[in-house]
Structure 1
Amino acid sequence: MYNNSMKLLFLSSMMMGTILSISSNSWLGIWMGLEINLLSIIPMLTDNKNMMINEPAIKYFIIQAMASTTLLISILIIQTKYMMWWDKKNIPSMMIMSSMMMKMGAAPFHFWLPEVMSSTSWINCLVLMTWQKIAPMLIMSYCIKL
């Protein structure tokens, strides 16, 4: 486990990532904030003494990487102006919403959440269920306005 100064570093970088995501004016800044948030929670989920406890961190990382890839693809679609050729202009918005729902663990993308939550500590469960959902929820509210 990490000492208190390392926990403080990870928690402060998590807060910084969320604030960056919320206050950013560009999609790239939003994505960077979400990634800072992800990279600061992963060390809190791992344990050097027991390698079996690292399994939820790996699952969490893979799911978050898939959601981030979906977010980047939808951002590229928005930025390259291919939307003019499509009949349905809300496809990138739906992709952003689905990637944010996957990051939050909201239904129907919640398949990973019970497995990760069942094998983490209570404080990590608290962080995963509260702080990690703030930025994706606000990004979803931005997409509703699109």
Structure 2
Amino acid sequence: QAKLIATVSMLLGTTITISSNHWMMAWAGLEINTLAILPLISKSHHPRAIEASTKYFLIQASASTLLLFSSMSNAWFTGQWDITQLTHQTSCMLLTIAISMKLGLVPFHFWFPEVLQGSSLTTGLLLATIMKFPPTILFLLTSPSINPTLLSTMAIASAMLGGWMGLNQTQLRKILAFSSISHLGWMSIIIAYNPKLTLMTFYLYSLSTSAIFLALNTINTLKLSTMMTAWTKTPSLTAALMLTLLSLAGLPPLTGFLPKWLIIQELTKQELTAMATIIALLSLLSLFFYLRLAYCATITLPPNSTNHMKQWQINKLVPTLTTILTTLSIMLLPMSPMIPTIL
């Protein structure tokens, strides 16, 4: 019952935000979303979960307040409540900060790994994908008004910090949180030049991340050490997980290569070759920990003695959704010729 209410509220909040033209409606949708996810974060009643939900609430409330203040100041100066008519300079700056806080862009990223670590894998999946959709749409709608230099700086910082801070993590949820921050950098860098490409990147990122979260949920793994011994449970899923991780890293010929390829191409077209080079090089940081995860996922024997018991192989059926998402997150690259018709 509670899960149903939370899910319906989340869908309602997301729908209200993405379909509204008025700032107040968009704000209301974001608030509904925030309130819907809070019970899901804190449902385990573990101190870590309570801490995560408190942090999430405080950050989202602050961001919503800033967003409301930004829209009100814009309405005060211009008389416009329309989302696409954000023309006042200060309002644009405040809105950028508010949405960056909601998304977890650097330098407002500190809350995200902690919140994800305190949540279950399924809630983490919602936080990393669905909950980022409404703010991303608001970014898209206001992209003509946002300062591209500021956004590019934040994007490069996100790609750098996301890769850098993920290097020494052993908790899978934290690694996926830093991966999310890194991907947000890729989405933000292109938003001022080609918003549709940002949306496509978000969709493909959500696809791969969902596949990874669901696979980890199926094999019941939360950290690297248990991941090393999880291959005995469902070997086929673990092998597919390795490919999905490499796809998220953006290696060809997997799906994840497509958005990075198109973003670099678009940046080069805009004569931002230096920026394209920097962000491409920064993705090598993320690649390192994806490769480490992929290695741990498919390793046959741990390199050192482990305290974990070997898991018996069980004939556990992999959920159909996990199978579909994993397949899509690996094999969508041949669809790339269709992209010019979409963008």
- How does the TM-score come out when normalised to structure 2? 0.38
Task: Report the secondary structure of 1:29's partner residue.
Answer: helix
Aligned with 1:30 (options 26, 33, 38): 26
CA RMSD of aligned residues (A): 1.8
Distance between the aligned counterparts of 2:47 and 2:35, measured in 1? Answer: 19
Q: List alignment gaps of at least 5 residues for structure 2.
A: 80-86, 146-343
Query: What does residue 6 of structure 2 align with?
Result: 10
Structure 1 residues 41 and 114 mapped into 2: Cα distance closer, same or farther (>3 Å)?
same
- Alpha-carbon contact 1:18-1:135 (below 8 Å) kept: yes
Paired residues of 2:66 and 2:94 also in contact (CA < 8 A):
yes
1:1-146 → structure 2 map (5 Å cutoff): 5-47=1-43, 49-81=45-77, 89-146=88-145
**TM-superposed deviation, 1:47:** 2.9
Letter in 2 for 1:30: A
- Native 8 Å contact 1:97 1:143 kept in 2: no
Q: Deviations over 1:111-134 (max 9, x none)?
A: 111111112110011000000000
- For the pair shown, which has the larger CA radius of gyration, 1 or 2? 2
How far, CA to CA, are the matches of 1:72 and 1:16 in structure 2?
Answer: 19
The one-letter code sitting in structure 2 at the alignment partner of 1:116 is V
Deviation at 1:100, TM superposition (A): 0.8
Structure 2 distance, partners of 1:90, 1:49, is 43
Structure 1 runs of 4+ with >4 Å offset: none
Instruction: After superposing the two structures, state which structure 1 stretch, 92-101 or 47-56, moved more.
Output: 47-56
How far apart, in 2, do the equivalents of 1:49 and 1:63 lie? 20
Query: Residues 74 and 88 of structure 2 are in contact (CA less than 8 Å); yes or no, is this contact kept in structure 1?
Result: no
CA deviation vs aligned residue, 1:21-66 (integer Å, no higher than 9, x gap): 0111200000000000000000111136434421100000000011
Higher relative contact order (CA 8 A, sep 6+): 1
2:3 maps to amino acid:
K
TM-score of the superposed pair, with normalisation by structure 1? 0.87
CA distance in 2 between partners of 1:8 and 1:71 (Å): 28
Instruction: Mark the CA change 1:130 to 1:90 in structure 2 (over 3 Å): closer, same or farther.
Output: same
Kept in 1: contact 2:70–2:95 (CA 8 A): yes
Mapped partners of 1:77, 1:127: distance in 2: 32
Pairwise CA distance, 1:140: 0.6
Q: Distance in 2 between matches of 1:92 and 1:121?
A: 36
1:82–1:25 distance in 2 versus 1, CA, 3 Å: closer
**Displacement of 1:102 after TM fit?**
0.5
- Give the direction of change, closer, same or farther, for the CA distance of 1:63–1:119 in structure 2 (3 Å limit): same
State the distance in 2 between where 1:103 and 1:123 align: 19
Across the two proteins, how many residue pairs are aligned to each other?
138
